[in-house]
């Protein structure tokens, strides 16, 4: 499992079990295994036979329920677009709510339902654990609602906040959490882990993912990885081929990501003598500062690519920047 790639972070969590803070903030780059760590730690806290306190047993009722996603003393707060855990019946949404596109935010209604959960007694007589992921996806109202629980934590309630961008959290939320940094794992260990997952060209995908093994696995085995491969081939064939390969907004976001990483590689190569992402054709040249500026523009354009616009026209504008 990806939490095996973070022995130092896991040790840091284990050391906190005896004098457990009411809230922890696991922070680090996306795709390094923070959520897996948080889930493993939550399972340990709820385990009814945890022995020396270094690993959950995996066999007790609590462990089986947690692994099945239905432990009564565990809750997950995630945006609807990411949620892997169905809402509890006692946290059902308002009747008659209009169905629409899944939200990319954690809403205040979810946090309020969590407040009802942490302020009642434990079903198993132990702790209650709430995992908030990604914590920076709480909108302002939701973050302020959670702050109330963090300021006056109920007894035996533990909040595990998982964040890719902790700077986007309210300072007051960060100040009430004990930080647990989760860095990029060692490249050799990450490559070996990816190979065990059946990933071909593990080192290449790890590089494209910026050293984040979970993200590399998603790239190598998911639909986005197939789109990346197709777009890289088209880009290597020329700007016209890359433009023709853009079919929808999903392709547009992939193109913007590739162009951003290509530009960063060119800039890094000029400034430090080596690339980072192994993105795009290797024959591209140009001024390092211009490439860095282009990379910054692509970072903004990756966000714009999610909005309804004409993919072909926007792709043309992205690619025109290479010539400039």
Assess whether 166 and 236 both reside in one domain: no
Range of the domain at 128: 2-181
Assess whether 24 and 172 both reside in one domain: yes
Q: Which of 122, 151, 181 is the last residue of a domain?
A: 181
Q: Please tell me the distance from the alpha carbon of residue 36 to that of residue 26, in angstroms, as a whole number.
A: 11
Q: Centre a 10 Å sphere on the Cβ of residue 283 and count the other Cβ atoms it contains.
A: 6
Assess whether 153 and 258 both reside in one domain: no
The CA angle 303-139-30, to the nearest 5 degrees, is 55
Assess whether 169 and 107 both reside in one domain: yes
Assess whether 102 and 242 both reside in one domain: no
Assess whether 18 and 108 both reside in one domain: yes
The string of pLDDT tens digits covering residues 239-275 is 778 888 887 888 888 999 999 999 999 888 888 878 8
Q: Please tell me the distance from the alpha carbon of residue 125 to that of residue 1, in angstroms, as a whole number.
A: 29
Q: Total domain count for the chain?
A: 2
What pLDDT does 185 receive? 94
Domain-embedded: residue 146: yes
Assess whether 130 and 239 both reside in one domain: no
Q: Which of 131, 155, 181 is the last residue of a domain?
A: 181
- Which of 196, 155, 157, 151 minimizes the C-alpha distance to 170? 151
Label residues 103-130 b or e (16+ Cβ within 10 Å = b).
eeebbbebbebbeebbeeebeeeebbbb
Domain-embedded: residue 205: no
CATH classification of the domain holding 145: 3.40.50.300
Assess whether 78 and 9 both reside in one domain: yes
The CA distances from residue 191 to 40, 200, 207, 216, in Å, are 22, 10, 10, 10
What pLDDT does 99 receive? 56
Q: Centre a 10 Å sphere on the Cβ of residue 98 and count the other Cβ atoms it contains.
A: 4
Per the DSSP assignment, residues forming a β-bridge with 81 are none
Assess whether 172 and 226 both reside in one domain: no
Domain-embedded: residue 204: no
Domain-embedded: residue 216: no
What burial class does residue 99 get, using C-beta atoms within 10 Å of its C-beta: 0-12 exposed, 13-18 middle, 19+ buried? exposed
Mean pLDDT by 10 residues, the chain (324 residues): 80 92 96 95 91 81 93 93 58 48 89 85 83 96 94 92 96 96 94 94 94 94 88 84 82 90 88 80 69 90 77 85 72
Domain-embedded: residue 211: no
Domain-embedded: residue 238: yes
Assess whether 27 and 137 both reside in one domain: yes
Assess whether 22 and 100 both reside in one domain: yes
Q: Please tell me the distance from the alpha carbon of residue 311 to that of residue 212, in angstroms, as a whole number.
A: 29
Do the Cβ atoms of 2 and 33 come closer than 8 Å? Answer: yes
Q: Which of 131, 161, 181 is the last residue of a domain?
A: 181
């Amino acid at each position: 499992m990806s939490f095996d790639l973070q022995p130092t972070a896991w040790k840091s969590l284990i050391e906190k079990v005896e004098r457990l803070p009411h809230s922890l903030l696991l922070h680090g780059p996306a795709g390094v295994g923070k959520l897996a760590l948080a889930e493993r730690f939550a399972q340990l806290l709820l385990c009814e036979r945890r022995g020396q306190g270094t690993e959950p047993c995996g066999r007790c009722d609590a462990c089986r329920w947690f692994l099945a996603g239905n432990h009564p003393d565990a809750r997950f707060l995630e945006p609807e677009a990411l949620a892997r855990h169905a809402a509890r019946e006692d946290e059902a949404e308002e009747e008659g709510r209009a169905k629409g596109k899944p939200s990319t935010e954690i809403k205040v209604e979810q946090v309020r339902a969590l407040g009802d959960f942490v302020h009642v007694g434990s079903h198993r007589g132990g702790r209650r654990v709430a995992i908030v992921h990604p914590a920076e996806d709480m909108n302002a109202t939701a973050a302020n609602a959670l702050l109330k629980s963090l300021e006056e934590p109920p007894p035996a309630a533990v909040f595990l906040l998982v964040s890719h961008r902790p700077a986007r959290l309210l300072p007051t939320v960060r100040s009430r959490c004990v930080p647990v940094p989760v860095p990029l794992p060692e490249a050799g260990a990450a490559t070996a882990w990816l190979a065990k997952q059946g990933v071909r060209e593990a080192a290449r995908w790890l590089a494209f993912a910026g050293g984040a093994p979970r993200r590399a696995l998603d790239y190598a085995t998911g639909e986005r990885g197939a789109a990346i491969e197709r777009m890289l081939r088209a880009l290597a064939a020329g700007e016209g081929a890359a433009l023709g390969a853009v079919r929808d907004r999903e392709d547009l976001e992939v193109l913007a990501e590739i162009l951003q990483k290509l530009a960063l590689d060119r800039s890094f190569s000029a400034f430090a003598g080596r690339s980072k992402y192994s993105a795009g054709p290797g024959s591209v040249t140009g001024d390092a500062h211009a490439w860095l500026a282009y990379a910054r523009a692509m970072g903004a354009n990756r966000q714009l690519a999610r909005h309804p616009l004409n993919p072909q026209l926007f792709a043309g504008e992205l690619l025109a920047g290479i010539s400039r």
